[in-house]
A and B are shown apart, each in its own frame.
Chain A
Amino acid sequence: MRKTWYIAVREYNAAVRSKAFIVSMVLMPVFMVGGIVVQKLLKGKVDTTDKTIAVIDHTDQLCEAIEAAANAYNENELLDPKTGKKIKPKYIIERVAPSEEEPDKQRVDLSDRIRANKLHAFVEIGKDVIEPNSNPRANADILPMTERVVYHGERAAIDDMRGWVRRILNERIRELRLAKVDMAADVVERLTRFVPVEPHGLLSLEGGKVKAEGRRSEGQLMVIPIIIMMLMLMMIMIGAPPLINSVLEEKMQRIAEVLLGSVTPFQIMFGKLLGTVGVSLTMVVIYVGGGLLLADRIDATQYVPYHLLPWFVIYLVMAILMFGAMFSAVGAACSDLKEAQSMTMPVMVTVMIPMFVWVNVVKDPLSGFSTWLSLVPTCTPLLMLVRQATPSTIPAWQPWVGLGGVVLFTIFCVWVAGRIFRVGLLMQGKPAKLTDLVRWAIRG
């Protein structure tokens, strides 16, 4: 056991001092948090150049509303009330009389102006938009052109201004239609008011008082499971795959033979796995510790699922042992990096499976699919934890049965990998085939 420990210590030191580890330690959170930060930074950096849109109004009744809305907007929303800085583009409406003779030429001309950057977009309002005759349930595509409003622009589909125009036009059109039947807009609004169905959590009795979890947003429900899963996946990915390189180094530099003169192959492999577990626990201390500190600073401690912390650590240790054993077997079976890369794929995919299904599991953690998949040992660490992180009550036996399965499967993996490791370690030259691996595992 002491020798295993020495190997573990060496492995740990070699891993945490490697550049790859330090870089990924620093970069991983940068990538994860970076996206949010960049979004935040870019939020204020919208394009504030003035936007002119041309309106061809065949109804002759709607353009005014757009102009009025644009004026109101230009007056009230253009400047930041605190700093007085211009934070939004000014909207300029240009009314264009419809051309009776050459409507297509008019459209082409306007398009050319957009291409020349003289114009932002142009809107053409059909003449029967206010009082359409066709079936109100008909698909917009089959309506006659006279009943449609078309927004032409280079990025029309994702243009914010199109949404603005739509809102203004519809408000005005509704007003006009209601006026025709002599109804006031506020009356209609009261009559057709929509009642929301709020998503709330469960209630519980604490010290004689009813405690409600209150309103829960979709984001809140998804955020915690995904943070937990990504954190664990990241630790597995930083910890386990480097074992391939480390075993390969020992094999290619013929260090393995020196080691085998002192320790058994199983001791080597187990020592390396323990070292890797140490690396992951170091990451837990840094990331989870950092996360908890951050949660404390931003007053988000009520969202931290403290009860999951022990499960997180146990599952992580098991996952590292399980996948680490697989990766070291791959390393031992190959004789160069190229070979190893192709043999790594299946193991990588096995690690990643939970990534592909986690949304379904979070949405319905009690479904048969979620339950069974989370009991498959290679998926248990990530998926069971994700299920436990949702507010649903997972039957109490399931995490334990899952853990039992993981422990058994991990022992099996380490045992099989140990046998492949022993045969593969001194094997040079010809690459091992899958059948060889199976034979080594069975015969030892």
Chain B
Amino acid sequence: MFEFKLPDLGEGIHEGEVLKWYVKVGEDIKEDEPLMDVETDKAAVTIPSPRGGRVSKLNGDVGEVVHVGDVVAVISEGGEAVAPSDTTPKQEKKDEPVVTAPAMQQQPASTGGNGKTTSVPPPEYGGRPVPAAPATRRLAREMGVDLRLVSPSGPGGRVTPDDVRVFASGDQQTTASGAEGVTSQETESKEVAETVNFEAGSSNIPFLELEPLPDFSLEGPVETEAVRSIRRKIAKKMVTSMVLVPHVAHMDDADVTNIEKFRKEAKQSRAGMKGEKLTLLPFVMKAVIAAMREFPSFNASLDPFKQEIIYKKYYNLGFAADTPRGLVVPVVKGADKKNILTISDEIRDLAISAREGTLDVAAMREGTFTITNVGPLGGKNLIPTINYPEVAILGMGRVEERPVVRNGEIVIRSILPLSMAFDHRIADGADAARFVTMVIHLLSDPKNLLLEA
């Protein structure tokens, strides 16, 4: 009996959702054959079986969350060795080539015993270490990466240092056991479909009907990609938020001429010091926190099951970060207790880790309010989607110099368009107007911020 505990899935990840089992109880599995797919906040990982034998127990249904260290499978050893009559034809076939063949006559096998084409044929015998240079092995050790889980890109299934880094960053989706190295797109989309129990047809919501998509490839060439990892996470969150939360967006403009002048001066004087990359975002965070103190319903969550509103007495501000893998929201925790320079540095560090994919999962949790600053990329304004179960999200448009009327005269001012989407179950339009007005007031002059934030 071998109890297989869910291995370390990479830095900071302690749990994952079961996406798929490759075997059923009572079936045989070989060492290094895929056992299960687990979805973490960072990536979907295929976990190979560390032993061969008969599967006598599997813990965790598809969709359930399993934790690192949990016994996920129990494998009786020697299952296939002692019960040859029970082995499936597939396995018998695969066992054939293990006989030592005379030298010089062997042909390189292009297909595995079961006819499935694989990029890297798994070794036919167990326990041989993953091919990787000593320096790569050292790197993997330092990054806490199990080489057996890494998809190799080198010849002969050799794992390169880049493979290890990509795996550690959570980019890599499948694993090394090779069998799933190149799954066809068809199978992958099928897998996902199975995972979400997708069933075409009518839903419980009147008029909402999910029809199967037409075959677009009939119209022209297409490429498909499985919805996995961060993309999947985003999709889930957005659908939940949009379906569950009645969104209202409140829009206004903030005159940030004074605060921008102040910021630019401060930034210039801080080269090489704390806050040297000072942006507008930490100022907006400070203004938002002050407004949240005044209007606690914007730092709350509504529990639909208990039917109660939870008011939070802590202020963790998330900010949307665009990364090569998709949107992530790092959180500045306890932002109310930090000064603007500290927040500025923290935002910079979090953004870098997010871009490099080294962000700890913990750094993306426990946000109470989110700010999305799409302005620098372009666009006048936007209607953001609430980062459920938070209550509101503030969108920052692009700061532009605009002609505005002040005291009967047209003057040029720096204008920041603001747009806050909020949960109408918790707050009303009037509350939002007051909230945003206060934010605008605080952003209109650094002195206001000094007094209230």
Chain B binds chain A: no
| Chain B residues packing against A (C-beta within 8 Å) | none
